[in-house]
Each structure stands twice: as C-alpha cells, then as structure tokens.
Amino acid sequence: MTLNRREFAQLGALSLAAGFMRALPAQTPPAAAPRKTGYAVIGLGRIAAHFMPGAVNSTNSAITGLVSGHRDKAEKIAAQYGVPLASIYSYDNFDEIAHNPAIDAVYVALPNSMHAEFTIRAAKAGKHVLCEKPMATTVADSEAMIAACKAANVKLMIAYRCHFEPVHLRSIQLIHSGQLGQVQAISSCFGYNIAPGEWRLNKKLAGGGPLYDVGIYSLNACRYLTGEEPAALEAYASTIDHDSRFSEVEENTAWTMRFPSGIVASCATTYGANMSGYFKVYGSKGWLAIDPAFNYEGVHLHGELSGQALDELSPSHDPYQFQAEAEHFSHCVENNLEPQCPGEEGLRDMKYIAEIYRSAGIPVPWRMEPVSVVSGPPRTS
C-alpha cells in the first residue's frame, strides 16, 4: 500500500484517535473510570518534563509519585500533576514506595550510571520499571537490572521513544515489505555541541561520550531498520577540542557495521558540532531518509521508491512519542504482556557500545566486563 502525504497524515490522525478512544456501550451509565497505571518519576530534569505530559495525555497512565533531591522543585511539579505531598520521595527514602499502592511503576530519568541502582531498588519494592536510554553504563549493570526485575516478577522496558514514532514505523514497513528492494547501505549521524558543566561529560555518570547519549539512536535505528543484529563492527574515536569539556569522555565516535545479510552501515556521533540526527537507507529500488529523525516532533520522511517521490511529515507532535511509550508500557503492565523494548533490547545496545569502545581503543568503561558479541563470517563477504 502506498500512501501520499495527506493520506498518511489522515491515517496517522485516525489511528491515534482510534487508539485513544474508549469504546463505551451506548446508553449505559458510564462505568467508573478504569484504574490507570501510576508512575513515580525519578529525576525531575529535562526528559521528565516531556514524559510527564505525555503520560497524562495517554488513556491509561498517571503521575502518582515523584522522586527528587530537590523538595521545592518536586512540590511545584506535584501541584501541577495532582501528586499528594506524601508521595514525594528523596533518593534516600525512595524504597518506601513499596508501601504506596498508587505507585505501580517508576520512570527512571536520572544520569546514566544511576539507572541500575534505581531500577534494582524499584524492582525490590515490587514496582515495574520504564528506564531511560542508555539502559546503564555497563553490560554488567544492565544484566543485573534484568535479573532484578525477573526475580521480582516486574516488567522492565527501555524508553526507546523512536519505536513509537509513526514515520519510523512507516520506514520499517517500507523496508521490510521489500518496497525499497534489497537494502545495501545505511548512513546515520546524531550529535550536538555540548555545553561545559554537563553531567554527560563526567565518565562515572555518563559511561562515555556522545555514543551513550545520542549515537545510541543511530545504533538502535540500524538494528530496527534492518531487523538484523550486527555481525561485525569497527570504530574510531577522537577528541579535537582539547578544552575542559573532554578531560573524561571522547568528543567523536564513528563506526561501521556489517549485518549478516551483507548490509553495511556507517554512523557517527559528536559532542563538538550540531548534527541534526538523520538516517538514510539505500536499496536496489530506491532510497529513504528521515531527517530530522530523532526530534520530538517535525520528523520528516522523504525519498524515492521505484521512481515515485516519497515525502511524509510525521503527524505526531511533542509529547506524542512519550504518550505512546507510556500507553504501551502501561498496557503491558495491566495485561501482563512483554513490552516492545524489554531490558534485553537495551542490553544488546550496551554490548555493541562495549564493542565499539573496544574497537576504537578506548578502555572499556568503568565496571564494564569484556563481552564478545561480534561473530559471524569474515569482514569481506
């Protein structure tokens, strides 16, 4: 099925609308509203400010707890979302959420190296976990997070919001249905010129440089676009600006991957230049690009398929990606289903990140155990 831009926008709007409408039987008194999945948000920074409105826009999610080191900030946000003051926790008394029945799940939006501790503590408190990307800073921590959630019988999902972005789903459909022909090559970049003083420049908190932060979008996209796992990869890293920003983490990383089918991918990420996130996929019957690809809105698909121009602007606006993510995870919690991006999906990216670091000659990050995920036939096939 080929849709033009207007039809696609209509379809997007219809499917969004359909997904958010509750089917109530006509002429019967409205039943009590179904209980929503209540989230405690841990870390009230920039990304949490997108997630919270997204969650409350969904049909099945609510903000019912806040966890912060700043009580005054938490009280202001609590007033905004109707969270009782008794449901505000500090990082120290966080474990008391175990006794709060209004909290079903947590949303972990802390610096990367803190994801493991709070995921494991949440699991021990019997709460489901939606954790921001990157899953953690080490493979060992990622495995411990999965094990803790399994032991506590709670769900774990990594918040890869692009898995819910309509035009990403559309490009996956175009590729997997063969409309692009045989995919041969992918290129993808994402980076920005980072300001000094960010926790992202602290290796213990961040794990490493831009690969952990934004390069992971290109890595994850290459995997869902191909539907394959890399068979081999090779990487380079560099730091050009010897200013105070890069005393702990590298400034640039570039890597190539070969997938089992022979598809080759080339990716780069930086903290030294503003690089609008994009990907381009080249197939025997045409090409497609999403540029910008990883923004919260304005995501734009274009290309050419068998001589026909492709030009589709995503119908979604911020915070739709977060709304869809919350809707999906809450649905999984309510119905005991496996989420779209479980911990194992985050773990795979962590293993590839470890391999990229190893190939680039950067000592594997703190507490990262060596793993070997690169296998398969020799590099030239």
Give one DSSP letter per residue of 160-217, joined into a string: -GGGG-HHHHHHHHHHHTTTT-SEEEEEEEEE--PPTT-GGG-HHHHSSSHIIIIIHH
Q: Which is nearer to ligand NAD, 133 or 223 (CB)?
A: 133
Minimal CB distance residue for ligand NAD: 45
Helix 216-226 with 166-176: angle, nearest 10 deg: 40
The residues that bridge with 66 in the sheet, in sequence order, are 41, 88
Report how far residue 337's alpha carbon sits from residue 322's, in angstroms, rounded to the nearest whole number. 19
Residue 189, both tokens: 């970049």
Q: Are 124 and 148 in contact (CB under 8 A)?
A: yes
The answer to whether 45 contacts ligand NAD (rule: CB under 6 A) is yes
Q: What does the CA dihedral 167, 169, 174, 176 come to, rounded to 10 degrees? A: 160
Q: How far is the CB of 148 from ligand NAD (least distance, A)?
A: 18
Tell me, what DSSP letter sits at residue 347? H
Report which DSSP code applies to 253. Answer: E
Residue 109 engages ligand NAD in binding (rule: CB under 6 A)? yes
Number of chain positions touching ligand NAD (CB under 6 A): 17
Q: Which member of 36, 127, 133, 351 is catalytic?
A: 133
44 scored as a contact of ligand NAD (CB under 6 A): yes
Catalytic residue among 212, 217, 224, 357: 217
Residue 43 or 65 with smaller CB distance to ligand NAD: 43
Kind and range of the H or E run holding 221: helix 216-226
Least distance in Å: CB of 165 to ligand NAD? Answer: 11
Query: What string marks each residue from 188 to 227 as x (binds ligand NAD by CB under 6 A) or -?
Result: -----------x-----x-------x--------------
Closest distance to ligand NAD from the beta carbon of 62 (Å)? 20
CB of residue 362 vs ligand NAD: minimum separation in angstroms? Answer: 19
Cβ distance to ligand NAD smaller for residue 109 or 356 = 109
Choosing from 1, 6, 33, 46, the residue that interacts with ligand NAD (CB under 6 A) is 46
Is 36 in a helix, a strand, or coil?
A: coil
Is 318:99 a contact under the CB 8 Å cutoff? no
- Say how far apart CA 125 and CA 153 lie, in whole Å: 11
Residue 133 designated active-site: yes
d(CA 208, CA 202) in angstroms, rounded, equals: 8
Binding range to ligand NAD, per CB under 6 A, among 40-48, 121-129, 222-230, 326-334: 40-48
- Touching ligand NAD, residues 237-276 (CB under 6 A): none
Catalytic residue list contains 192? no
Of 37, 64, 100, 112, the one binding ligand NAD by CB under 6 A: 112
Residue of 379, 357, 210, 360 whose CA lies nearest to 370: 357
Within 49-108, which residues bind ligand NAD (CB under 6 A)?
69
Part of the chain binding ligand NAD (CB under 6 A), chosen from 37-45, 135-143, 147-155, 251-259: 37-45
Given 159, 183, 267, 301, the residue binding ligand NAD (CB under 6 A): 159
Active-site residues, by number, are 133, 217
Residues of this chain that interact with ligand NAD (CB under 6 A) are 43-47, 69, 109-112, 132-133, 159, 161, 199, 205, 213
